Amino acid sequence: MPRPPSTMRRQILDAALRLFAEHGFKGTSLHDIAVEAHCSKASLLYHFAGKDAILTELLTPPAESLSVMREELAALKGDQAVESAVRVYVGLAMRFHLEVKIIFAELPDMLGHPVLAVIPQAVDQLADALAGRSGEPRARVMAQMVIGGVAVTVAAGEDVEPDLMRAELIQGALRALGRPSS
């Protein structure tokens, strides 16, 4: 019995996400994805124009979430911006940990991907919120450290229960930013 198209698309996307995270975008072939998704290469190509189309679909939700984050953080100031930025960023990084791993594995190529054009502005806005809208060099440096530290930590795939990981990332980020955790 054939699987419904939406189920097959999801299986292909899930397989590609796992393989891209494990072997990189360049190190994964369409054949690899088809085998992992338990479908033929022809079926895969029926659903997606190619590997780049699969990557675009995988990276669209995190990119859209970054845009929403930018909007949410834009109106916040000072400590409120810092606390919200930490919580939202940690949540996004954990939710999209495999996508973060894919992006970091092939960073120069990935940042050139059209769907990720939102990243530079989103990171600038996130850094501004994490710094409490301060122009002070220490605040700006610590904000960038939090951005990098959270991304690298979630991409590393540590075997830590998600709620504990989230709590530790938030507490560590707030400490790095010189803020008490609540």
pLDDT digits (tens, 9 = 90+) for 62-112: 999 988 998 888 888 888 889 899 999 999 999 999 998 888 888 778 778
| Side-chain-side CA neighbours of residue 168 (13 Å) | 12
Tell me the whole-structure pTM to 2 decimals: 0.81
What is the Cα–Cα distance from 26 to 28, expressed in whole angstroms? 6
What is the C-alpha to C-alpha distance for residues 33 and 44, in angstroms, rounded to an integer? Answer: 8
> Which tokens go with 81?
């911006």
- What would the DSSP string read from start to end of 66-108? HHHHHHHHHT--HHHHHHHHHHHHHHHHHHTHHHHHHHHHTHH
pLDDT at residue number 111: 75
Mean pLDDT, to the nearest integer, of 148-155?
A: 92
166, burial (CB in 10 Å: exposed 0-12, middle 13-18, buried 19+)? middle
Secondary structure, 3-state, 110-121: HHCCHHHCCHHH
Amino acid, single-letter form, for residue 107: L
Residue 121 banded pLDDT, cuts 50, 70, 90:
confident
- Do 101 and 157 meet the contact criterion of CB atoms below 8 Å apart? yes
Closest CA to 158 of 85, 109, 93: 93
Contact indicator for 99, 17 with CB cutoff of 8 Å: yes
- Considering the four listed CATH numbers 1.20.58.1030, 1.10.10.60, 1.10.10.350, 3.90.1300.10, the one that applies to the domain covering 5-48 is 1.10.10.60
Token pair belonging to 80:
């409120």
Amino acid, single-letter form, for residue 16: A
Q: pLDDT by residue (tens digit) across 7-56?
A: 999 999 999 999 999 999 999 999 999 999 999 999 999 999 999 999 99
Question: Does the pLDDT at position 181 exceed 70?
Answer: no
